[in-house]
Amino acid sequence: MKGKVAIMTEPGKLDFAEYDLPEVGAGSVLVKVTRTNVCGSELHIWQGHHPTKKSGVMGHEMVGKIAALGPDVETDYAGNNVKVGDRIAAAYFLTCRKCKPCQHGDFHLCENAYKFWD
């Protein structure tokens, strides 16, 4: 099977590419993207206003369906059971699961979420 992606080759220009789908490794999930959103930051990238980002795939805000689960993947990051065909929304940040908000299930309030942005 092949995947398709829209790539911004330079500000204001798109090209489309096909690629081989990757093998689904341990701890991984392969997702078929059904909808994606371009956020405000990406609009600035599209217009060429970002200081370093001048090309690449945008649309990190997305929803899709699980196409394949890697070995031993039975739950999502929050501990909910998952299976092929489940609809998902990808989080664009990771949480520590250790701070007080995370311990109460308030992952959106994680005190350490942005420490993982490298």
Mean pLDDT over all residues of the chain?
A: 89
User: What's the confidence (pLDDT) of residue 16?
Assistant: 95
The C-alpha atoms of residue 62 and residue 32 are separated, in whole angstroms, by 10
Helix or strand run (H / E) with residue 10: strand 2-10
Helices (H), the chain: 40-46, 100-103
Reported as a single tens digit per residue, the pLDDT across 21-68 is 999 999 999 999 999 888 888 888 899 998 888 998 888 789 999 999
Domain boundaries, the chain: 2-116
Q: Contact 25/72 with Cβ under 8 angstroms? A: no
R_g (Cα) of the chain, nearest Å: 17
Query: Is the confidence at residue 118, as pLDDT, over 50?
Result: no
Reported as a single tens digit per residue, the pLDDT across 1-19 is 899 999 999 999 999 999 9
The C-alpha atoms of residue 30 and residue 2 are separated, in whole angstroms, by 12
Reported as a single tens digit per residue, the pLDDT across 60-113 is 789 999 999 999 999 987 789 999 999 999 876 778 889 999 999 888 888 887
pTM: 0.73
Integer distance in angstroms from the first to the last C-alpha of the chain?
A: 31
CATH of domain 2-116: 3.90.180.10
Q: Contact 46/14 with Cβ under 8 angstroms? A: no
